Chains A and B, each alone.
Chain A
Amino acid sequence: MTDRALLEVKGLVTAFDTEGGRLRAVDGIDIRVEHGRTLGIVGESGCGKSVTALSIMRLLPQPMGQILEGEIRLEGVDLVQADRDTMHRIRGHRIGMIFQEPMTALNPVHRIGRQIAESLILHKGFDKRQALERAVALLQRVGIPAPEVRLSEYPHQLSGGMRQRVMIAIALACDPALLIADEPTTALDVTVQAQILELIASLRSESGMGVLLITHDLGVIAEQCDDVVVMYAGRVAEQAPVRQLFAEPRHPYTRGLLASIPHLETPRKTRLPTISGMVPTLSALPDGCRFNNRCPHADDRCRREQPPLVRTGPDHHVACHHWQRIASEPTP
């Protein structure tokens, strides 16, 4: 991978100023999304996965949220340094984004057609009629029946799955190079989730865009992604191609997560392996490795010294002092 990545994030630190002081929600992460590939970020609440997405879009809540360090290069342009106008040209044009809850992301008082047309008029210089024609084509592409009728409807007239399709149509209106999907199916039923995930995957292979998919669901990661970043408390715990990660998880957190979800093969009504304790809050992070208070392998070094993300194999990176010993044990 010598050529330029579509998106390259290096050493990103994003912090929030709160009454309790400055909290580093994302604390030095590197990620890379290639053209035509899907990178998944998986982690639990508070791990910084959504803050990473908002940092890339430069949509952090103001004035509390700010990027302190690092660079975010989209097609070579550093978004951290970009001014307002540049970001206006990039958002919705080069980067499309879909959120978890389409009802809050769509404007309830505007018709669907207008909401799709908006970015086409703004970014592509279409007139209103051209934009609405293109909106019909987009709705068709995301699988909405009778698109001409839907154009003049309001978000509340659509089902959850249909609304998420509209969100995808808006995100894709200007043929973005990068699609950021933050928990795109979490609010949806499992049969509708399957439809939406299939749609995102087929649109990606048609258009060659890169996808950054953020989710807490390891099943969604396994089915959708080429590469995976596992985040924990603002840092990258492990990073690998998807098959490698599921076949040979090397970080104790990844191993614990994978072991704790019930599989269809797990004997019923038996005790599931667990990760003890709970996700630490940002204001009370342990010293050293942030996972040390929940890790069965933690020793003094882990409580003292933050482990760097090291290369442990082709494209496989792990932030653990003891990954070699742990990885040689059978997967729990």
Chain B
Amino acid sequence: MTVPLLELRDLATHFPVRGGVLLRARGTNRAVDGVSLTLDRGKTLGLVGESGCGKSTLGKTVVRLLAPTSGQILFEGQDISKLSRRRLKPLRRELQMVFQDPAESLNSRHTVGNLIEEPLIIHRVGTAAERLARVHELLELVGLPASAAERFPFEFSGGQRQRISIARAIALGPRLLVCDEPVSALDVSIQSQILNLLLHLQQELGLGYLFIAHDLAVVRHVSDTIAVMYLGRIMEYADADGLLARPRHPYTRALISAIPSPDPNRRSRRTVLEGDVPSPIDPPSGCPFHTRCPHAEARCRSERPALRQVARDGATDHLVACHFDL
């Protein structure tokens, strides 16, 4: 059996919630609360959920921008969840991240060339001339002219800036890229350009992606497998087509039916969920979804359903965290 690129075992990231004059901890935000997932080399694991479900916290924890509270992060079999900064540094070459808003993630005082070269300098890669050649190569790889290196981020459009942040993220030749909403700040006509670029880079470089987004149609298009998150937990996990075609968790079903379809002949008879996502600081007892679930019974309020296998789509287990076979 080959070792997966990334394996999360019962991963949790909690934050203390402080308040009052003395900023004493008054509670705990259980942003990620017991997540187990696997991603194979060169594949894409899509992570969907609504705001506050913990998907960005999970992404940042995977690349160790945040320290997990408990659980394991196995990167190619090695547990990186407790590594010190110094021990982590060589691993930064393997694990990189692309953020939602390139206007914020690129320092506007640096030239594009400097921004892309910076990780190479930090990791002492090559001579100055070699690094410059690498910067030009990276720019062309992401579809920008080599001359872009001398210009500043603000001279570029949103889509081009996202290409620059992708070039920087892949500069050190990582094997895992965490993409946190990489297209949601972009115009519709630009989104497909960036999605195509990510697909192309995956083929060329064999990158594995943890692709975080709220748009299920976008996530399905780029992903091999998809995990649906709600209040810090995985509600459903399956092959990307299997999840969309045969969703088994009531939350996934509601999420799919809520997507407005760009086809006026298919105005859906949708299941509109009542209410909002509850706070992760004081999550509901039992199943976290029971407050909005149309099928909830007494058992759901008291007993938390485990993530269990209900089917198999090809090589992928179809997992659902629900007491019922709906």
Task: Judge whether B262 and A263 touch: CB under 8 Å.
Answer: yes
- Chain B nearest CB from A279 CB (Å) reads 6
Q: Determine the distance from Cα of A210 to Cα of B257 in the docked complex, in whole angstroms.
A: 26
Q: Determine the distance from Cα of A262 to Cα of B217 in the docked complex, in whole angstroms.
A: 6
Whether a CB of chain A sits under 8 angstroms from the CB of B297 is no
Q: A190-B50, A195-B273 are in contact. Are A269 and B221 (CB under 8 A)?
A: yes
Using CB atoms and an 8 Å cutoff, list the residues of chain B in contact with chain A: 44, 50-51, 157, 159-160, 187-193, 195-196, 199-200, 214, 216-218, 220-224, 240-241, 244, 254-255, 257-265, 267-268, 270, 272-274, 276-277
Task: Judge whether A278 and B241 touch: CB under 8 Å.
Answer: no
> Which 10 residue pairs spanning A and B have beta carbons closest together?
A219-B260, A262-B221, A189-B50, A260-B192, A272-B192, A194-B258, A44-B187, A275-B189, A218-B262, A222-B264
Determine which residue in B189, B214, B222 has the highest number of CB atoms from chain A within 10 A of its CB, and name it: B189
A220, A263, A275: the one within 8 Å of B260 (CB): A220
Residues of A within 8 A of B240 (CB): 268
Task: Judge whether A198 and B189 touch: CB under 8 Å.
Answer: no
Main DSSP-derived SS at the B contact region: helix
- Chain B nearest CB from A14 CB (Å) reads 21
Whether a CB of chain B sits under 8 angstroms from the CB of A308 is no
Task: Judge whether A261 and B262 touch: CB under 8 Å.
Answer: yes
Q: Determine the distance from Cα of A243 to Cα of B267 in the docked complex, in whole angstroms.
A: 11
Task: Judge whether A191 and B273 touch: CB under 8 Å.
Answer: yes
- Chain A nearest CB from B271 CB (Å) reads 9
Residues of B within 8 A of A161 (CB): 276
A sample of 24 inter-chain contacts (CB < 8 A) reads A44-B189, A160-B276, A161-B276, A190-B255, A192-B50, A195-B273, A198-B272, A216-B188, A219-B262, A221-B262, A222-B264, A223-B261, A260-B188, A261-B188, A262-B221, A264-B217, A264-B244, A268-B221, A268-B222, A268-B223, A270-B199, A273-B192, A278-B157, A278-B189
Residues of A within 8 A of B277 (CB): 189
Residues of A within 8 A of B190 (CB): 278
Using CB atoms and an 8 Å cutoff, list the residues of chain A in contact with chain B: 44-45, 159-162, 189-195, 197-198, 216-224, 242-243, 246, 256-258, 260-264, 266, 268-275, 278-279
Task: Judge whether A197 and B262 touch: CB under 8 Å.
Answer: no
Q: Determine the distance from Cα of A189 to Cα of B276 in the docked complex, in whole angstroms.
A: 9
Task: Judge whether A195 and B217 touch: CB under 8 Å.
Answer: no
Task: Judge whether B187 and A45 touch: CB under 8 Å.
Answer: yes
Q: Determine the distance from Cα of A44 to Cα of B189 in the docked complex, in whole angstroms.
A: 8
How many residue pairs link A and B with beta carbons under 8 A? The number is 130
Determine which residue in A221, A246, A258, A269 has the highest number of CB atoms from chain B within 10 A of its CB, and name it: A269
Residues of A within 8 A of B270 (CB): 194
Task: Judge whether B214 and A189 touch: CB under 8 Å.
Answer: yes
- Chain B nearest CB from A184 CB (Å) reads 13
Task: Judge whether A219 and B189 touch: CB under 8 Å.
Answer: no
Residue of B nearest to A269 (CB): B199
B192, B199, B224, B254: the one within 8 Å of A261 (CB): B192
